[in-house]
Structure 1
Amino acid sequence: MENIYLLMIVALAILAIADLVVGVSNDAVNFLNSAIGSKAIPFKTIMIVASLGIFIGAVFSSGMMEVARKGIFMPDQFMFSEIMVIFMAVMITDILLLDFFNTLGMPTSTTVSIVFELLGAAVAVSLIKISASDVETVANLSKYINSSKAFSIIMGILLSVVIAFSVGALVQFLSRMIFSFHHKGKIKRFGALFGGFALTGITYFIFMKGLKGTPYYDTLKGLVVGKELYIILGGFIFWSLFSQLYMNLFKKNILIVVIAIGTFGLALAFSGNDLVNFIGVPMAAYHSYEAWSASGATANEFAMGSLAEKVPTEPLLLFIAGGVMVLTLWFSKKARVVTETEIGLSRQDEGKEKFQPNLLSRFVVRAATKTSQGINMILPKSTQRFINQQFDKPVLTKKDKNHELPAFDLIRASVNLVIAGILISIATSMKLPLSTTYVTFMVAMGTSLADRAWGRESAVYRVAGVFNVIGGWFFTAISAFIAAAVMAYLIYIGGPAVIAILLFFAVVLLARNYIRYKKKTSELKEEDSLSRAESSSIQGVIEESADNIKAVANRSSKIYNGAITGLAKEDLKQLKKSKKGNAKLTSEIDDLQENVFYFIKNLDESSVGASHFYINILGYLQDMAQSLEHIGKMSYKHVNNNHKKLKFNQTRELLDIQNEMHSLFKNIKKTFDARAFDDIHLLLEEKQPLLESVSKKIEKQISRTRTEESSPKNTSLYFNLLTETKDLVTAVMNLLEMYYDQYDSSVPKAEVSIEEKEK
């Protein structure tokens, strides 16, 4: 029997490594986003700084391990066999839950996951024990669960959301009042004080307060206790002088240093606070196994009161854990996907929004707008003018490329890092497993709100995104509790056999998610993606748009072929894939249209006519996408509703059209890929034969309907497919005709001018 528990310890150790990988992939968003979003530091430098913070934080984090041992339940009320059931259920649940959120690209809280998994598994085992007792009832549950500690942890997590959002918004508003968006001149005057404040806050709260959670605190306690005020004042003077010296000697912005040290400090705080979420449970299981092995008692009779005692974490294990976390940070692609959500919700500029508005977000934005209007009625006009001046944003110049601009400026990035780092380190010093995800995310949202990043054009989408993420957090808590409870019950009832099955299931699921994710990312790389026009001349737009037309032609061919072939074979999978491909194409075209503002801003005065050309191109591309969307939806609906299959003649005729369309798209791709714009007239010659071919098939179907057709659904579908195909051909030909005319009118002039110069 002892071998079974030894195998469980080995399994928990393997799960701990896997959990570290999955957990860091999720939590990298917490300490990377501010530096990445501000583009203040090269990406590799950010990664090196964050890696150092993670590694050092891991080595100094043993004080937080007590949470997994006695923070949620009363260990002395459980036998060794029962404790192992709880720990095994928690780790299997945790790794599956975090990987699920990573695959979706949504940041979730590893702290909330582990707390509610421990709570769920402990409650399940406690209820099993109570049900087996003749004298205990559900009212005795408090005997097993450390309800006061669990309640304080949960309330701390919930309060952190409000506190982080409020403090972030307030500090960002005050910072913007001092520096405004045109902060280069003001940084020279006040930058040393700001740098002194920010760097003192980071170093004191991260390093000094963070020491309380480490095994080295007793050694350094005499140097720190009672001297806090002197340390803060000394730190402020030192960092202020350092900031001034740095700006004078290197002629660089001190905020770059603040962001670098802030990233290091936040990574250190994350590692020190969150390492318990990944290895706390396996280490508690290992200590339990050691105590039980030394006792000589049976697993069902050995009470785990030893877990209530403070046991230092082995430095070697912390060293290994830190190494795994650093390697994950560098090599996990999922870590970089998760960062996109927070940066997208907090960016300063307008752009494509990831989330759709809902009733609640509309209500909140409407209420906030009314409140703002009410405040403006009270505030003096002079105060309003001053505040508005501080929020005047720099005007985009023609050289600025919007998608290359930072998501937010150095001021906001610095505030994000300083406030999040301070709040997390305070919680760590109090040994509260605060959710780093909640704090960093809500600080970022608070500073975004204060910075007026949520304007009238984006607020409803951003607020909806915040509600979606927070809703995901509540889903995390509920699903973690229920899933861990179910896992614990199954393991308790089924024993080693169920553990083996669950571990096998976990491995298969993780492998499946990994393969799917890798396949998805490789498909995205291979697929032709559309790019925004950046040229400031008509010739440049003609050249750049050629790539988009080539890409749309290639993808349209795949979408159309998938819809017709899927309909002919009644293949729902292929029809769904075709619909999905068209939805992505439509989304990319919409994204290009939403960025027309920046395209027009970038144009030279002499090339304003290029805007008409570019806008018309996007209009025709959208017409193509709409026709493909109707074709895909109708085909999918027909097959999904199990309507009659198309007749042989109908299928053959559609496949004939499919071949003709495939040939057209193939020739378009070839022409635009080779930049053989003079050959576009050959493509235009295919217009009439194609339209006539479709018209003949419509006439045939009319004849069939009058004499032999018996299915109204088939007839309606067939006519709709043909008419949408005609619209698709028309849109394609209009695009080609406009492109050819524009090219024909611009290129000869350029050639003549060159010839004249040569003469």
Structure 2
Amino acid sequence: MENIYVLMLFALVALAAIDLVVGVSNDAVNFLNSAIGSKVVSMKTIMIVASIGIAVGAIFSSGMMEVARKGIFNPGEFYFNEIMIIFMAVMITDVLLLDFFNTLGMPTSTTVSIVFELLGAAVAMALIKIAMADDQTIANLSQYINTEKAVLIISGIFLSVIVAFSIGAIVQYLSRLFLTFNFEQKPKIYGALFSGIALTSITYFIFMKGLKGTAYYNDIKGLLEGNEMYIIGVAFILWTSLSYVLTKFLNVNLYKIIITVGTFALALAFAGNDLVNFIGVPMAAWNSYEAWSVSGVAATDFSMEVLAGKVPTPALFLFIAGMIMVVTLWFSSKAKKVAATEVNLARQSEGHERFQPNSLSRIIVRSSLGVISGLSFILPKSVQQGVESRFEKPVVNLPKKKIYELPAFDAVRASTNLMVAGILISIATSYKLPLSTTYVTFMVAMGTSLADRAWDRESAVYRVAGVLNVIGGWFFTAFIAFVTAAIFTYLINLGGITAVSLLLLLVLIILVRNFLRHKKEEKEKAEKREIKREELITAKEVIEETSDHISEVVTRVDKLYTNVVNNLTLQDLGKLKKTDKHVLKLNGEVDALKDEAFYFIKSLDDSSVEASRFYLLVLGYLQDISQSISYISKASYKHVNNNHKKLKKGQIKDLKIIDEQLSTMLKQIAVVFHERKFDDIYEIIEEKHELFDHVSKSIEKQINRIRSEESSAKNTTLYFGNLLETKDLITAIMNLLELYQEFHLSMKKAKIKM
């Protein structure tokens, strides 16, 4: 029996290592995004500073492990075998949940996930015990769960969302009124005062939050507690004086110092306090095993009261955990994906929006515009003009090829993000109020974005939808963590080591699948040539860009059309549905190109402005093509899904011939644009008549069938619809070829003239 628990320990250690990787991939957003978005500090410096912060915080993090041992449930009410089941269910759930969010590129809270997993697993095990006991009912659940502590943790976590957003918005608004967007032109004393406030708050944060959970905090506890105001006052005077000297006489960039120190502070606190989210449960399991193995008591009879006390975590384990976190920080592509989500939502500039608006985001934006409109009638015009002048953005005269180097937001906002997040986390820590560092840092960043007017009428509905999606994901995290951990607890209790083995196999399969899928997406993204909206684009590049688009679209349409015809013939509903999903993806990509047309055209150099008309027409024809194949796919799927009659042999035969001819033509077009053989376009245009004729003859045949033998109205609707849409598809392709031929010839003539 003992061997079973040894194997479970090894499994928990392996899961802890994996959890560190997936956890850091998600939580790196907490301390990296302000530095990444502002571009004040180089990426290499950011990574080095964050790595040092993580390493130091991890090594000194022993004091926070009690959350996993006794923060959520009363360990004395469970036996050793039950505790091991709880811990195993929690770790399996945590790895799967965090990897899921990493794959989506969505920031979530590792604190919330571990809290609700422990709660769900403990509740499930408690209910199992209650069901097996004759003298207990559901009312006895409170004796197993640390209800007061659990409620405090949960309420503190969710309250932090509102507080962080509100305080972030207020502080950023005041900071911008004080410094404006032309902060670099302000008197040196302005920057020194702001730096003094920011560095004081970050210093206080390092001591009160970054070090409070460490094993060495007791050595300096007497110096810190009770002297907070004195420390703050002295620190403010020292930092302000030093900042003024540095900027006045040495011309040092104070914001670079603030962002560097702030990044270190958040990384330190993250590793020192959130490490419990990743290895707290395995360490609790290790402590439990050590106590049980020397007791001589059966696993089913050994009470886990030992977990109620404080047990130091070996420094070696903390060091190894810290190194895993540092390596993950440097090499995790999923961490970059999660970070990109927050930077995208907070950026000052316009551009492609990742999230689509929803009804709630529209209502919020519309209501906010109404409030703003109402305030404009209340506030005096002079006040409004004064405020507007403080928010005027400076005109940056950079060459077009350099505009893409501009940061997502400026150093003032980055500094405010770090300062406010540090202050809020420090205050919560001093009052022993639990919160999620992810929620605080993310919502502060969103609040400062709103106050900084990064969300204007062009982008607000998309940004608000993005924030709502992320917040919705947080509630989803809590719910799924609780339910999944509870289910896994029940399954492990029921199936024992067999259930554990199967669940671990499930973890392995899902992780490998997500890794391969993510790797494939990254490879496709790397291979796909993308012209950034800020890059300088010439007429030649327009040809290159559109040629790639056309080649890719016609290749995919060729495959999709053939799939529809074949699957319609076989009445294969599953494959028709799969094809329809691919068609939707194609439509989405073409729509995204049209959404980016403004930025594409804006990026054209002055000598190729004429190419903008050509580019818009190409996108228009590509959209016509994608809409045609979309209609054909949807109509075919709907027909089969509704169990209507199969197409007749004659109809199928005609569709097959059309498909073969269309496929031949599309393959020729793909080669022409892929290999840039534009002189061959004329031959393809000439060959279109044969295909048009066959489509027209097929329509005439169907008319004759209706008059003589056809008895199915649904068949006729589908067949006519697909044929007419095929005709529109061919027309759009031919119009595209003729447009391209005309533009190509004009380019050749212009080149000859030059």
Q: What's the TM-score, normalizing by structure 2?
A: 0.92
Which residue is equivalent to 2:204? 204
Partner residue of 2:355? 355
Q: Which residue of 2 aligns with 1:317?
A: 317
| Structure 1 CA distance for aligned equivalents of residues 606 and 520 of structure 2 | 46
What is the Cα deviation at residue 569 of structure 1?
4.1
**1:756 corresponds to:** none
**Secondary structure in 2 aligned to 1:495?**
helix
- Cα shift at 1:71: 0.9
For 1:389, the equivalent position in structure 2 comes to 389
Give the direction of change, closer, same or farther, for the CA distance of 1:31–1:176 in structure 2 (3 Å limit).
same
Change in CA separation of 1:409 and 1:567 when aligned onto 2, cut-off 3 Å:
farther
Q: Is the 8 A contact 1:67 1:433 kept in 2?
A: no
Matched, 1:110 2:120: no
Q: Which residue in the other structure is 2:688 paired with?
A: 687
Distance (whole Å) between structure 1 residues aligned to residue 693 and residue 241 of structure 2 = 81
> In the TM superposition, what whole-angstrom CA distance separates every residue of 1:553-610 from its partner, at most 9, and x where no partner exists?
3333333333334334444454344333333333333233223333444445565433
Partner of 2:488: 487
> What corresponds to 2:256 in structure 1?
256
Q: Is the counterpart of residue 29 in structure 1 residue 29 in structure 2? A: yes
Structure 1 residues 544 and 516: CA distance shift in structure 2, 3 A: closer
Instruction: Give the drift of 1:534.
Output: 5.0
Whether the 8 Å contact between 1:532 and 1:592 is mirrored in structure 2 is: no
Deviation, 1:282, is 1.0
2:503 corresponds to which residue?
502
Cα offset, 1:655, TM superposition:
3.0
- Cα distance in 2, alignment partners of residues 716 and 405 from structure 1: 55
> What are the Cα deviations for residues 50-74 of structure 1, in whole angstroms up to 9, with x where unaligned?
2222222211211211111111112
Is 1:439 aligned to 2:423, yes or no?
Answer: no
- SS of 1:301's equivalent? coil
1:78-109: CA deviations, max 9, x gaps?
Answer: 22222222222212222222223223332221
Aligned to 1:635: 636
| Compared CA separation, residues 632 and 201, structure 1 to 2 (3 A) | same
1:245-644 → structure 2 map (5 Å cutoff): 247=247, 253-395=253-395, 399-400=399-400, 405-428=406-429, 433-525=434-526, 534-535=535-536, 538=539, 540-603=541-604, 607-644=608-645
Letter in 1 for 2:505: F
The 5 Å alignment of 1:139-178 reads 139-178=139-178
SS at match of 1:727: helix
Q: In structure 2, what is the Cα distance between the partners aligned to 1:134 and 1:675?
A: 81
Amino acid at match of 2:22: V
CA–CA distance in 2 between the matches of 1:431 and 1:271? 18
Paired residue type of 1:378: I
Does the aligned pair in 1 maintain the 2:208–2:426 contact within 8 Å? Answer: no
| Deviations 1:316-356, CA, capped at 9 Å, x for gaps | 11111111122222333322222333233222233333333
2:617 maps to a residue whose letter is N
Q: 1:156 to 1:589 in 2, by over 3 A?
A: same
Q: Which sections of structure 2, spanning at least 5 residues, go unmatched?
A: none
> Retained in 2: the 8 A contact 1:535–1:541?
no
**Structure 1 unaligned residues grouped into runs of 5+:** 754-759
Residue type at the aligned position of 1:168: G
For residues 522 and 682 of structure 1, the distance between their equivalents in structure 2, rounded to whole angstroms, comes to 35
Whether 1:88 aligns to 2:85 is no
SS at match of 2:186: helix
Distance 1:322 1:235 in 2: 30
User: In 1, are the aligned partners of 2:209 and 2:425 still within 8 Å (CA)?
Assistant: no
Give a deviation string over 1:270-303, Cα, whole Å, max 9, x none.
2222111111111111111111222222222222
In structure 2, what is the Cα distance between the partners aligned to 1:526 and 1:705? 50
Over residues 333-390 of structure 1, what are the superposed CA-to-partner deviations in whole Å (9 max), with x where a residue is unaligned?
3222223332332222333333333332222222211111122211111111122222
Q: Structure 1's 534 and 358: CA in aligned 2 closer, same or farther, altered over 3 A? A: same
The residue aligned with 1:757 is none
The answer on whether the counterparts of 1:273 and 1:434 sit within 8 Å (CA) in structure 2 is no
- Distance, in Å, in 2 between the alignment partners of 1:288 and 1:175 is 51
Compute the displacement of 1:227 (Å): 4.7
Q: CA deviation at 1:215?
A: 0.4
Change (3 A) 1:539 1:102: closer
Distance 2:600 2:181 in 1: 23
SS of the counterpart of 1:295? coil
Shift of the 79–710 alpha-carbon distance from structure 1 to 2, 3 Å rule, reads same
Q: Is 1:68 the equivalent of 2:68?
A: yes
The number of aligned residues is 753
The amino acid that maps onto 1:6 is V
Task: Pick closer, same or farther for the CA change 1:600–1:258 going to 2, 3 Å.
Answer: same
Shift of 1:225: 4.4
Letter in 2 for 1:213: G
Note if contact 2:188-2:248 (Cα within 8 Å) is conserved in structure 1: no
Question: Is the contact between residue 533 and residue 603 of structure 2 (CA under 8 Å) also seen in structure 1?
Answer: no
Aligned match of 2:58? 58
Distance 1:538 1:101, change over 3 A: closer
What's the CA shift for 1:167? Answer: 1.1
Partner AA of 1:598 in structure 2: Y
Letter in 2 for 1:170: I
- Cα distance in 2 for partners of 1:297, 1:424 equals 43
Relative distance call for 1:576 and 1:238 in structure 2 (3 A) is farther
- Tell me how far apart the structure 1 counterparts of residues 531 and 579 of structure 2 sit (CA, whole Å): 18
Structure 1 residues 594 and 245, CA gap change in structure 2 (3 angstroms): farther
252 and 716 in structure 1: CA distance in 2 versus 1, 3 angstrom threshold? farther
CA 1:255–1:659: 2 relative to 1, 3 Å: farther
CA distance in 1, matches of 2:242, 2:637: 66
Instruction: Give yes or no for contact 2:428–2:434 (8 Å, CA) kept in 1.
Output: yes
Q: Does 1:658 align with 2:659?
A: yes
SS of 2:617's equivalent in the other structure is helix
Q: Call closer, same or farther: CA 1:540–1:3 in 2, change over 3 Å.
A: closer
After superposing the two structures, state which structure 1 stretch, 367-376 or 491-500, moved more: 491-500
CA distance in 1, matches of 2:160, 2:599: 38
Q: Which moved more, 1:717-726 or 1:596-605?
A: 596-605
Matched ranges for 1:665-684 at <5 A:
665-684=666-685
Does the Cα contact within 8 Å between 1:211 and 1:429 map onto a contact in 2? no
Measure the CA separation in 1 of the matches of 2:145 and 2:551.
Answer: 63
Q: Which amino acid aligns with 1:635?
A: S
Superposed CA offset, 1:654-677 (max 9, x none): 233233333333333333334343
Q: Does 2:739 match 1:751?
A: no
Change (3 A) 1:695 1:513: same
Partners of 2:699 and 2:276 in 1: CA distance: 68
